[in-house]
Structure 1
Amino acid sequence: MLKKIVLAQLALWLVVFASFAQAAPKIEHWTTANGLRVYYVPAPELPMLDLRLVFDAGSARDGAKPGLAMLTNSMLDKGATGLSEDQLAEQFEAIGAIFSSSTSKDMATLGLRTITLEQEQKAALDLWLKVIAKPDFPQKDFERVQKLTLVGLQAEKQDPASLGGKAFYQALYGDHPYGQPENGTEETIQALKVDDLKAFYQQHYVAKNGLLAIVGAVDRTQAEALAEQVAGVLPVGEAAAPLPEVKALTAAKTVKIPYPSAQAHILVGQIGNKRGDDDYFTLYMGNQVLGGSGFTSRLMKAVRNDRGLSYSVYSYFGPLAQLGVFEIGLQTKLEQADEALKVVQDVLGKFQQEGPSVEELEASKKDITGGFPLRTANNSQIVDYVGVIGFYHLPLDYLDTFTGKVNALTREQITEAFARRVQPDKMVTVIVGGDEK
């Protein structure tokens, strides 16, 4: 009941104070005595606090055990200091706090959201630190999570989108860590033991391999005290070694996966860009015109509006610590797959050579800059950004300078970047659907 009251009150405060959010949040940074990097944004308008621990412990660190990072992260709240999963959940609920966790290819996160009333904040932080510092990894819960993961992997065999996505990454990355599925394979998940999770946790969930993002109604002195509390429960450890560089494709590759469906799922793409590289903004803006702006994008107009070949088509760059992906995706009728693919290739080829028009560029600038304040309108969104900024070592003024950098882009810069970075003749194409040939 307390949680519902608190969240309702916070929702009201968000409506009241959202109109005052104008300038991008200013990020302060320091490092604790044991090496935990801290990124702090004061947000005094609302009586709430968001904490986000981010570790270099994503699936790219799985090694020969794909799925290890994901299972480790998902097990942390299944029991700690003798408290069961249900007991932990009930205690977080009772004080109106929210625990969260996630993994991606690069990172693993642990989050806490709480009100800043002294008693509730202290109780929430104490409970969160128990989960972080002393997870129990109960055998029964591990077996349950393991079985659920195996059930999910079985279900993915009947999901053409999952089949296509995994084949796409494997074709792009080969034996690079990014080529491994984040949720593992049936063989690797079945082979995992609790001791594997404990060892991964002990190696990667350490101060020098992580950072803490703090956003909320606490001043600098209070933030420093919070950071020392969090750092104090973490072993010092060592930062993970840099991931290997990604090798560029040298030739086009097509992968066809038989699947009994009237639809073909198509993915086309190549190796993309890193977080923070020099072409980030030019590629981001160019993609907005190409396939990132929904119904107004070039791909949508050509594939859906003009020819009715698909309900939806998209493109995006997914930058990572090493080179991420550039991906175009759509679904279409099996008998139209070749035609739809040809249209996508033609649109991409023309855009790669000519870039956006002046009108397209200006419309995309307005769309991006106009929507940007809404993407940093609350603490939860800000702490996400701050965690990413810290993890990828982006400039502390990244949010403050974002719209200025977008507005400064020229058509010529975008065209040059796409001509240099996008190679339509060296792309991976994955088609799921149809009979085996």
Structure 2
Amino acid sequence: MTFRCFLLGVCVIVASSLGCSTGSERVETSPTVALPVSNSPLVTLRIGFRVGSIHEPEAQKGLNALTALLMGRGGTASMSYEELTERLYPWSASISAQFDKEMTVLVGEVHRDHLDPFVTILRDLIVTPGFDEADFSRNREFLTNSVVSTLRGNDDEELGKEALNALLYAEHPYGVPVNGTEDGLAAIELDDVRAFHAAHYTKGNVIVGVAGGYPDGFVERVELEIVSLLPNGDASPMALPTVSTLDGREVLLVDKDAIATAISIGFPIDVTRADDDFYALMVANSYFGEHRTFNGLLMNKMRGQRGLNYGDYSYIENFIQDGGSRLPVTNIPRRQQFFSIWIRPVPHHNAHFALRQAIRELEVLVNEGLTETEFDASREFLLNYSKLYVQTTSRRLGYHMDSAVYGTPYFIDEIRRRLPSLTVTDVNDAIRRHLQSENLAIAIVTSDAEAFRDRLVANDPSPPTYNAKASSEIQAEDLLITSY
């Protein structure tokens, strides 16, 4: 394999990514998605805004994240953050902020017995946030620490993902890390947050989701007491440039003291949930690298058969894990997506082999596709596994809102409708249209990155070493991979 390599010290990578029934019964009146669940004692509100890190000024990376946290982890004009948390605690209520490239969401959950005062608090956080100096300093310090201490210091996997993002989206708004940069955060003043909030958290950008056991008239109340009080704003989405084309296999190596080598691989694709081919690619991806399951070929061959690392997965859209689950968070839609492979940290002596194997398996997938048996098994798995996506009312609501943003029918219903009619030919044709193995962005976080670069350039064989003797079949395949 031939690579073009770029070598960086760790100091230049300065950001990170934060972090039941499946029914589709919803009532939608733009910009509100309502999902009544009459027998639920809980009510969930997801107040989303089509604003994210792509809207931040060049010199103030992290401005949207800081604005969101001052609503999700700050006070109101009439109530301090400490008073607010004391009020929410006996209700077992929660309010949090989630932010990404193109969308930011304030998520609130409360027992319906406390719904009236809770909505007032949520309204004030969104419409008249306190923007207190102490809250500002605390949240800016939190974001700065997430960049300087967590990402650079001890989260090599996220560092690899951010390095991949920087390589994929150089000179593109998506290249802006959602948590910001050390210099960008330091440059932000409280007045900048106030101005950004007034400009972007507006009627034109809002999409509201309400779910659970709320009373009659509650949706109208949310629209009256929250949406109508927002300032007017431009509803036109920010134009995005075309993503730069990759030229061969471009490698970005990040040199740091690491106990193992973290690898992320990716390339842009022109498919989102709004496209028919997305569902065929879902089946292909589930076969190839379903997140944290042994349904995926990568997981079986790299971890199961060889014990190279803890896990190996692939994705056909941006994926952020929802807490400790195996599921993606909702409400992170993007108009431009990418395919990626995540190779979790591998012992240094096997890292070159693992990189070769992942790319070779991708090449085999593109060239050979799925067999009828593999297709049937993966489609059946995905039809059942996708039901787990919506185990909570909040997640169901999130998927309904995502579908509204993408302009499609309810995503979970579409999976159940479309997958049974797919054929193995449909899936393999979609693979050939959208996936490839020749033009790749590859981010590697490792110790002695210069030596790794030299091995890549020399293209010398990289035989693996195992703790136990491999089978004759594995040894034979390893010979092919070693010199791939």
The TM-score normalised by the length of structure 1 is: 0.88
Is residue 403 of structure 1 aligned with residue 400 of structure 2? no
Residue aligning to 2:163: 167
Give the aligned residue type for 1:54.
G
Deviation at 1:135, TM superposition (A): 0.6
Partner Cα distance (1:26, 1:241) in 2: 28
Q: Structure 1 337/268 Cα, relative in aligned 2: closer, same or farther at 3 Å?
A: same
2:441: which partner in 1?
428
Amino acid at match of 1:242: M
The percentage of counterpart residues that share the same residue type is 24
Q: Does 1:266 align with 2:279?
A: no
Q: CA deviation at 1:219?
A: 6.1
Match of 1:74 among 69, 78, 97: 69
Contact 1:56–1:108 (Cα < 8 Å) also in 2: yes
Contact 1:249 1:427 in 2 (8 A): no
Map 1:322-361 onto structure 2 (within 5 A).
Answer: 322-330=335-343, 331-361=345-375
Rounded to whole Å, the distance in 2 between the matches of 1:182 and 1:227 is 29
Say which SS state the counterpart of residue 185 (structure 2) adopts. Answer: helix
Partner of 1:140: helix, strand, or coil? helix
The answer on 1:177 being equivalent to 2:173 is yes
The structure 2 residue matched to 1:144, chosen from 129, 138, 144, is 138
Equivalence for 2:203: 207
- Does the CA contact (< 8 Å) of 2:399 and 2:411 recur in 1? no
The one-letter code matched in structure 2 to 1:127 is I
Change (3 A) 1:377 1:162: closer
Q: Paired residue for 2:399?
A: 385
Is residue 106 of structure 1 aligned with residue 102 of structure 2?
yes
Matched, 1:310 2:309: yes
* Distance (Å, rounded) in 1 between the aligned partners of 2:94 and 2:152: 33
The 3 A distance-change label for structure 1 pair 54 and 142 is same
**How far off its partner does 1:221 sit?**
4.1
- Give the equivalent residue in structure 2 for 1:301: 300
Measured after TM superposition, the shift of residue 248 of structure 1 is 4.5
Cα RMSD (Å) of the superposition? 1.9
Farther-moved stretch of structure 1 (272-281 vs 217-226):
217-226
Contact 1:173–1:246, Cα closer than 8 Å, also in 2: no
Q: Secondary structure at the match of 1:336?
A: helix
Contact persistence 1:95–1:124 (CA under 8 A):
no
Confirm or deny: 8 A CA contact 1:302 1:343 kept in the other structure: no
- Report the TM-score when normalising by structure 2: 0.80
Aligned residue in 2 for 1:234: 230
The whole-number CA distance in structure 2 between the counterparts of 1:308 and 1:408 is 37
Correspondence 1:41-60 to 2 at 5 A: 41-60=35-54
Q: How far apart are 1:436 and its partner, in Å?
A: 4.1
Mapped partners of 1:208, 1:270: distance in 2 = 32
User: Following the alignment from structure 2 to structure 1, what is the Cα–Cα distance between the partners of residues 413 and 215?
Assistant: 20
Match of 2:251 in 1: 254
Q: Which residue of 2 aligns with 1:375?
A: 389
Deviation at 1:162, TM superposition (A): 3.1
Change (3 A) 1:385 1:103: same
Are the equivalent residues in 2 in contact too, given 1:300–1:313 (CA < 8 A)? Answer: yes
User: Offset at 1:240?
Assistant: 4.5
Report if the CA contact (8 A) 2:45-2:208 is conserved: yes
- Give me the whole-angstrom Cα distance separating, in 2, the residues matched to 1:216 and 1:434: 50
What is residue 329 of structure 2 aligned with on the other side?
Answer: none
Distance 2:210 2:62 in 1: 29
Q: Alpha-carbon deviation of 1:30?
A: 1.3
Contact 1:26 1:400 in 2 (8 A): no
Cα contact 1:47–1:115 (8 A) shared by 2: yes
Cα distance change of structure 1 residues 374 and 302 upon mapping to structure 2, 3 Å threshold: closer
Give 1:105 shift: 1.6
* 1: CA distance, partners of 2:423 / 2:245: 29
- Out of 69, 86, 89, the position equivalent to 2:85 is 89
How far has the Cα of 1:354 moved from its partner?
A: 1.7
- How far the C-alpha of 1:220 sits from its partner, in A, is 6.3
Deviation at 1:427?
A: 0.4
Residue 15 of structure 1: aligned partner: none
Q: Which amino acid aligns with 2:420?
A: N
CA contact 2:127–2:226 (8 Å) conserved in 1: no
Q: 1:101 to 1:218 in 2, by over 3 A?
A: same
1:146 Cα deviation from its structure 2 partner: 1.6
Conservation of the 8 A alpha-carbon contact between 1:332 and 1:340: yes
1:195-252 Cα offsets, whole Å, 9 max, x none, are 1111111111111111101112246644233322221221222225333133242312
- 1:166-197: CA deviation from partner (whole Å, max 9, x where unpaired): 21111101111111111111111111111111
Q: CA 1:44–1:105 in structure 2 vs 1: closer, same or farther (change >3 Å)?
A: same
- Shift in CA distance, 377/344, structure 1 to aligned 2, threshold 3 Å: closer
Cα pair 1:42 1:219 within 8 Å, conserved: no
Between the aligned partners of 2:354 and 2:274, the Cα distance in structure 1 is: 33
Structure 1 residue 408, shift from structure 2 partner:
1.9
In 2, the alpha carbon distance for the partners of 1:225 and 1:140 equals 32
Give the letter for the 2:41 counterpart. Answer: P
Q: Residue 116 of structure 1 aligns with which residue?
A: 112
8 A contact 1:267–1:429 mirrored in 2: yes
2:289 aligns with one of 288, 291, 302: 291
Distance 1:277 1:299 in 2: 26
- Show structure 2 runs of 5+ residues with no match: 1-19, 319-332, 451-484
**Residue identity in the other structure for 2:413:** D
How far apart are 1:268 and its partner, in Å? 1.1
Change (3 A) 1:250 1:371: closer
